């Protein structure tokens, strides 16, 4: 059996591929890595991932030769606003190549930037749809902007040129408006952007009473880095933040998911500073207007009150005269009615006295005596309880026409009978 060398086998594979493959194919995938190497050539790796698991199911090396790369890179940048880099999805026109030394590879001869834009737009729309479904997309937009924006928490990189521009424009303003600005450092480009900015925002939320608003700014840098801001986690953090957030990330033509969830979106850091200054100047104008209107309003109020007092002074004599006339008329009516009222009172009292007299007459003891009743007294007091009378007691019995004096020889009650009188007691002695 004749054995082939590896080179011979690879040569057969190359001949087979070159004979079977068409001139070029359009193929889509995700750049796993990519870099411009020595000589200006671009080297990278194109992969396809399972949509559910994210696992890589296919992989191929790609090469863009320097002359083609320079042309494609400029066109791709103009169409998409970003450069060829890892993590983006691309649609490439390739030729299939096979080298005895380097193996299978794809030689890129063209790129369709609209595919990448479409994928970015799709991904951005998916995030917005999820925010809408979760009911939080407008939460930050619905927060009221404070009347005064003086305490500003800034999320940015300390070394970013945009941060310096923002501070200079805000703190060195020509109107002498005062601000307190504090930086909360965050990574503003690269794959760690979402978690870094979110951490800064959570720190600000913990001390939200100290701030009026939050500004997220990023100036300069590659436009391609803006795709790092299309993050659901970061967008949700901004949407649910307790303070209104002003976004100043990117350039005039760029837009991210954050622009849709922040309270206010402007294009640059200097535009964010201009927005705050304009807001403060509007409030300052309102204060100046009130300052001018208050004296005028007070003067007008004083004039109205003086006119009202003058009118009252004019009306006072007539009011007093009218009141006196009403009182005189009331008094005259009372005088006319007085005899009749007095007669009614006298008649009423006379009738009441007659009733009292009848009651007194009915209680007259003489009347009771004339009816056969008698009154018994002992020691000058009326006897009301028989138990107070003892044998031998002296009593008086008053009848109509006179009084009988008696000495008690015995007392009979309802429950017992007293002993018979003493033998010395004689009948007809005048005892009752």
415 confidence band (pLDDT: 50, 70, 90): low
- Pairwise CA distance, residues 107 & 193, whole Å: 33
pLDDT band at 410 (very low <50, low <70, confident <90, very high): confident
Clarify whether residues 39 and 81 are in a common domain: yes
Of 232, 247, 282, the residue that ends a domain is 282
- Residue 419's domain comprises 365-432
Answer yes or no: is 154 within a domain: yes
Cα–Cα nearest to 279, from 261, 264, 258: 264
Least Cα distance to 140 among 219, 227, 205 occurs for 205
At 340, give phi and psi (nearest 5°). Answer: -65, -40
Residues 317-336 pLDDT 10s: 887 888 888 888 888 888 88
pLDDT tens for 207-247 read 999 999 999 998 755 555 677 888 999 999 999 999 999 99
| Residue 349, domain member (yes or no) | no
160 and 260 fall within a common domain:
yes
If one counts the domains in the chain, the total is 3
Shared domain for 146 and 67, answered yes or no, is: no
Query: Quick one: how far is CA 380 from the chain centroid?
Result: 92
319 in a structural domain: no
If asked whether residues 250 and 386 sit together in one domain, one would say no
Q: Is residue 189 part of a domain?
A: yes
* Judgement on whether residues 72 and 194 belong to the same structural domain of the protein: no
Instruction: Using the 3D structure, point to which of 111, 129, 161 is the last residue of a domain.
Output: 111
Q: What percent of the chain has pLDDT over 70?
A: 93
Q: How confident is the model at residue 72 (pLDDT cuts 50, 70, 90)?
A: very high
Same domain assignment for residues 270 and 150: yes
- What confidence tier does 28 reach under pLDDT thresholds 50, 70, 90? very high
- Are 270 and 172 in a shared domain? yes
Query: Which residue carries 């998409």 as its tokens?
Result: 80
* 31 assigned to some structural domain: yes
Phi, psi torsion values for 371, nearest 5 degrees: -90, 5
Residue 101 lies in a domain: yes
Cα-Cα-Cα-Cα dihedral of 394, 396, 397, 398, to 10°? 180
CA distance linking residue 28 with residue 42, whole number of Å: 17
- Examine the domain organization and report whether 93 and 163 are in the same domain: no
Q: What percent of the chain has pLDDT over 90?
A: 40
Strands (E), 264-410: 264-266, 375-378, 381-382, 394-399, 402-407
Question: Which residue reads 């009202």 in tokens?
Answer: 308
Measured at the alpha carbon of residue 9, what is the angle toward residues 27 and 60, in degrees to the nearest 5?
A: 20
CA 319, CA 101: separation in Å to the nearest integer? Answer: 120
**Residues 244 and 182 grouped into a single domain:** yes
> Do 54 and 84 meet the contact criterion of CB atoms below 8 Å apart?
no
301: its two tokens: 């109020």
- Residue 200 maps to a domain: yes
Place of tokens 């300390």: 158
- Report how far residue 138's alpha carbon sits from residue 124's, in angstroms, rounded to the nearest whole number: 16
Helices then strands, each counted (H, E), the chain: 9, 14
- 381: which strand partners? 378
Give the chain's end-to-end CA distance (angstroms, integer): 176
Compute the distance between CA of residue 225 and CA of residue 177 in angstroms, rounded to an integer. 34
Give the integer Cα–Cα distance in Å for 407 and 261.
Answer: 122
Residue 34: CATH number of its domain: 2.40.50.140
Contact predicate 172/143, CB 8 Å: no
- 277, 270, 279: which is closest to 156 by C-alpha? 270
Mean pLDDT of 359-365: 77
Nearest residue to 224 via CA among 90, 68, 106: 90
CATH for 200: 3.40.50.2300
Q: Could you tell me if residue 292 is inside a domain?
A: no
Residues 142 and 242 grouped into a single domain? yes
Sign of CA dihedral 111, 117, 118, 122: positive
Q: Report how far residue 159's alpha carbon sits from residue 179's, in angstroms, rounded to the nearest whole number.
A: 21
Contact of 367 with 361, CB cutoff 8 Å: yes
pTM exceeds 0.85, yes or no: no
Q: Which of the listed residues 111, 126, 150 is the one where a domain comes to its end?
A: 111
* Ramachandran bin of 421, using left for φ above 0, alpha for ψ from -120 to 50, beta for the remaining angles: beta
Average pLDDT over residues 292-309: 88
Sequence-distant (6+) residues with CB within 8 A of 405 are 394, 395, 396, 397, 430
pLDDT in tens, 167-189: 999 999 999 999 999 999 999 98
Per-residue pLDDT at 431 exceeds 50: no
Same domain membership, residue 154 and residue 34: no
One DSSP character per residue, 220-233 reads SS-GGGGGGG--HH
Query: Is 197 in the same domain as 246?
Result: yes
Task: Report the largest interatomic distance among the alpha carbons of the chain, rounded to a whole angstrom.
Answer: 186
């Amino acid at each position: 059996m004749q054995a082939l060398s590896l080179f011979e086998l690879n040569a057969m594979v190359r001949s087979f591929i070159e004979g079977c493959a068409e001139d070029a194919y359009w193929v889509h995938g995700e750049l796993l890595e990519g870099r411009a190497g020595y000589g200006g050539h671009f080297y990278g790796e194109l992969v396809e991932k399972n949509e559910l698991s994210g696992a890589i199911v296919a992989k191929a090396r790609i090469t863009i030769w320097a002359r083609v790369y320079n042309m494609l890179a400029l066109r791709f940048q103009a169409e998409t606003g970003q450069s060829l880099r890892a993590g983006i999805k691309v649609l490439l026109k390739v030729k299939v190549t096979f080298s005895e030394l380097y193996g299978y590879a794809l030689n890129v001869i063209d790129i369709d930037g609209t595919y990448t834009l479409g994928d970015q737009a799709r991904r951005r729309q998916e995030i917005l749809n999820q925010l809408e479904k979760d009911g939080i997309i407008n939460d930050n937009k619905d927060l009221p902007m404070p009347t005064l924006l003086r305490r500003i928490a800034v999320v940015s990189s300390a070394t970013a040129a945009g941060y310096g521009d923002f501070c200079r424009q805000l703190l060195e303003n020509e109107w002498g408006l005062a601000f307190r600005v504090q930086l909360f450092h965050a990574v503003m480009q690269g794959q760690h952007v979402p978690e870094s900015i979110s951490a800064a925002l959570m720190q600000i939320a913990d001390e939200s009473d100290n701030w009026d608003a939050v500004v997220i700014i990023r100036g300069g840098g590659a436009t391609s880095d803006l795709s790092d801001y299309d993050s659901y986690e970061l967008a949700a953090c901004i949407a649910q933040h307790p303070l209104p957030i002003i976004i100043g990330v990117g350039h005039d033509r760029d837009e991210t998911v954050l622009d849709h969830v922040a309270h206010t979106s402007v294009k640059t850091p200097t535009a964010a500073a201009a927005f705050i200054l304009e807001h403060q100047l509007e409030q300052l104008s309102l204060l100046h207007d009130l300052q001018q209107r208050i004296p005028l309003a007070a003067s007008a109020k004083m004039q109205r009150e003086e006119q009202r007092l003058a009118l009252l002074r004019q009306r006072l004599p007539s009011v007093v005269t009218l009141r006196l006339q009403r009182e005189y008329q009331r008094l005259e009516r009372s005088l006319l009615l007085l005899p009749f009222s007095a007669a009614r009172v006298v008649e009423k009292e006379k009738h009441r006295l007659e009733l009292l007299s009848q009651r007194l007459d009915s209680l007259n003891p003489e009347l009771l005596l004339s009816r056969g009743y008698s009154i018994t007294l002992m020691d000058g007091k009326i006897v009301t309880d028989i138990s107070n009378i003892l044998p031998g007691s002296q009593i008086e019995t008053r009848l109509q026409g006179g009084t009988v004096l008696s000495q008690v020889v015995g007392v009979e009650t309802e429950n017992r009978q007293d002993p018979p009188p003493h033998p010395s007691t004689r009948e007809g002695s005048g005892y009752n």
